[in-house]
């Protein structure tokens, strides 16, 4: 077997990772994935004071690194990880607006997290996945993945809430995606997210720019932004306290990525376990590269899992297209301005669709792996994890802050092992 697959052409409704669509369909599919993750990939760096254009650039570079490390056999896009937000703010003292003046401290910690992540991947490659599967079986990984989706639910719900026209556009965008996915032709289903954006965007142009019932789309910044421009790269600063605070985020990324890989395996019907260690290494190296240039920590992106669940297209070449486009757009300030013209209600409608599919994919993981919920060990582990994640249970110890995703991850890992004491293998 060659290192990379040969990607034979297929026109089936389900396109597997080692297959490809005609190039005329592959390119828009790649753009659709880029659009699906663009809102969050811009939101995450803005919440930490990072340059969103750098985040886009390094998401593309990181995706290509991941593609090479996994031999082009694991369909994933690497985007900015929300798991870093709380610790980055704690380390840098970021006030919440404008550029982060202490970004170097965060970058050093992000590199440390990436290094730890890659080392865990090397350990998995050397020893196999049995120990990590015992630590994080389907009940645990599914709970963590579902908690991540549910943790994002308030973002989607709050985005929908607003004036009547605002909510109408958001729900209309959501309904458009659902209708195109359920009733459209195969070609339409594959670009259902883009078509939903088009429907919502048009609605805002009519209700906002035309009738004044919504804030109008302002095209002034888009017209003023240059087509090409170099991002402002940043240098990391390596301070022990900051590195010790941020590096443990790698454990959250491991659980997150493991859940994603398991879910992708369930959706494709293929065994993705041999690529788990290589996926960790690829993600870890990509995070280190991103931190070295001023980008955020990256992870396999949940929004893209939602797109794959809708379109049933898992070809890894789609993500190469998305990565190359992202790299090009990372050098275009006009691209960032264009993304900012997508109206809030449109993004809110898409968020509900995609975040919901994230949680649903984890439920499918439980079903496919026949997780026994009559067993209190599984039941309590999943139940507590979902509540911690959905409720965003957060706390801090001696300056170390951990948010809802982190507490959900720890709850799943610790509770499952605790309730297994004294059990036979």
Indicate the SS3 state at residue 268.
Answer: helix
- Please say if the pLDDT value at position 412 is more than 60: yes
pLDDT at 383: 93
pTM of the full predicted structure?
0.72
pLDDT at 190: 62
| Stronger pLDDT, 358 or 74, i.e. the higher one | 74
How many H-runs (helices) and E-runs (strands) does the chain carry?
Answer: 20, 4
Residue 391 CA to residue 398 CA, distance in Å, equals: 23
Q: Distances in Å between the alpha carbon of 404 and those of 32, 255, 260?
A: 29, 14, 18
Q: What is the DSSP letter of 206?
A: I
Q: Which residues neighbour 73 within 8 Å (Cβ) at sequence distance 6 or greater? A: 4, 5, 17, 18, 272, 275, 316
**CA 320 from centroid of its chain's CA atoms:** 16
pLDDT band of 188, cuts 50, 70, 90: confident
CB-CB neighbours of 176 under 10 Å? 23
What is the spatial distance between Cα 349 and Cα 361, in angstroms, rounded to a whole number?
Answer: 19
Q: Is residue 388 within 8 Å of residue 196, measured between CB atoms?
A: no
Q: What are phi and psi for residue 80, nearest 5 degrees?
A: -60, 130
pLDDT-based confidence at residue 40 (cuts at 50, 70, 90)? low
**Lookup result for tokens 């919920």:** 373
Distance CA 84, CA 95 (A): 16
- Please state the φ and ψ torsions of residue 316, each to the nearest 5 degrees: -70, -20
Helix (H) or strand (E) holding 78: strand 78-80
pLDDT given for residue 259 in this prediction: 78
pLDDT value of position 24: 86
Higher per-residue pLDDT: 394 or 318: 318
- Give whole-number Cα distances, 361 to 137, 335, 358, 418, in Å: 16, 31, 5, 26
| Contact criterion met (CB below 8 Å) for 255 and 405 | no
What number is the average pLDDT over the span 259-286?
89
Look at residues 100, 58, 62, 84 and name the one whose alpha carbon lies nearest to residue 295. Answer: 58
pLDDT, one tens digit per residue, over 329-371 is 889 888 777 767 878 788 778 778 777 777 787 787 788 788 9
Distance of alpha carbon 213 from alpha carbon 243, whole angstroms: 48
Q: Can you give the pLDDT at residue 389?
A: 84
Report whether pLDDT(397) > 80: no
Q: Which residue has the higher pLDDT, 234 or 35?
A: 234
Residues 129-137 have a mean pLDDT of 81
- CA-CA distance, 329 to 419, in Å (whole number)? 49
If pLDDT is split at 50, 70 and 90, which confidence band does 187 have? low
pLDDT digits (tens, 9 = 90+) for 375-395: 999 999 999 999 998 888 877
Dist CA 104 CA 93 (whole Å): 12
Give residues with Cβ within 8 angstroms of 407, minimum separation 6. Answer: 388, 389, 393, 394, 395
Average pLDDT of every residue of the chain: 85
Are 58 and 295 in contact by the 8 Å Cβ rule? The answer is: yes
Across 10-19, 36-45, 113-122, 158-167, least confident range: 36-45
- At residue 98 the predicted structure's pLDDT band, cuts being 50, 70 and 90, is low
Give the single-character DSSP code of 122. Answer: H
The phi and psi torsions of 400 (rounded to 5 degrees) equal: -90, 110
Virtual torsion, Cα 92, 97, 100, 102, nearest 10 deg: -30
């Amino acid at each position: 077997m060659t290192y990379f697959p040969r990607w034979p052409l297929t026109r089936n409704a389900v396109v597997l990772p080692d297959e490809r669509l005609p190039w005329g369909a592959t390119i828009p599919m790649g753009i659709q994935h880029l659009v699906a993750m663009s809102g969050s990939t811009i939101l995450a760096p803005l919440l930490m004071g990072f340059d969103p254009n750098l985040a886009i650039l390094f998401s593309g570079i990181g995706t290509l690194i991941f593609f090479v490390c996994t031999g082009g056999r694991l369909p994933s896009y690497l985007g900015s990880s929300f798991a870093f937000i709380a610790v980055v703010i704690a380390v840098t003292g970021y006030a919440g607006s404008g550029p982060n003046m202490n970004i170097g401290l965060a970058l050093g910690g992000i590199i440390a997290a990436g290094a730890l992540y890659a080392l865990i991947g090397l350990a998995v490659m050397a020893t196999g996945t049995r120990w990590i599967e015992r630590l994080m079986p389907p009940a645990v990984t599914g709970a963590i993945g579902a908690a991540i989706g549910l943790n994002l639910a308030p973002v989607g719900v709050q985005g929908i809430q607003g004036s009547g026209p605002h909510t109408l556009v958001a729900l209309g965008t959501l309904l458009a995606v659902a209708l195109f996915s359920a009733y459209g032709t195969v070609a339409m289903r594959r670009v259902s997210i883009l078509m939903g954006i088009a429907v919502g965007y048009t609605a805002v142009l009519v209700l906002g720019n035309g009738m004044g019932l919504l804030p109008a789309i302002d095209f002034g910044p888009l017209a003023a932004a240059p087509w090409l421009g170099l991002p402002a790269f940043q240098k990391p600063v390596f301070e022990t306290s900051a590195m010790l605070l941020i590096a443990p985020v790698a454990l959250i990324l491991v659980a997150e990525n493991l859940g994603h890989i398991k879910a992708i395996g369930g959706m494709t019907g293929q065994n993705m376990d041999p690529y788990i260690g290589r996926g960790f290494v690829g993600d870890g190296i990509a995070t280190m590269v991103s931190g070295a240039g001023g980008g955020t920590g990256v992870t396999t992106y949940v929004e893209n899992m939602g797109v794959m669940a809708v379109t049933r297209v898992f070809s890894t070449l789609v993500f190469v297209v998305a990565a190359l486009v992202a790299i090009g757009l990372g050098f275009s300030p006009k691209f960032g301005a264009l993304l900012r013209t997508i109206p809030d209600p449109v993004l809110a409608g898409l968020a509900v669709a995609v975040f919901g599919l994230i949680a649903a994919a984890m439920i499918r993981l439980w079903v496919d792996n026949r997780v026994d919920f009559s067993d209190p060990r599984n039941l309590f582990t999943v139940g507590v994890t979902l509540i911690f994640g959905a409720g965003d249970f957060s706390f801090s110890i001696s300056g170390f802050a951990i948010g809802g995703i982190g507490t959900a991850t720890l709850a799943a890992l610790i509770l499952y092992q605790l309730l297994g004491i004294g059990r036979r293998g």
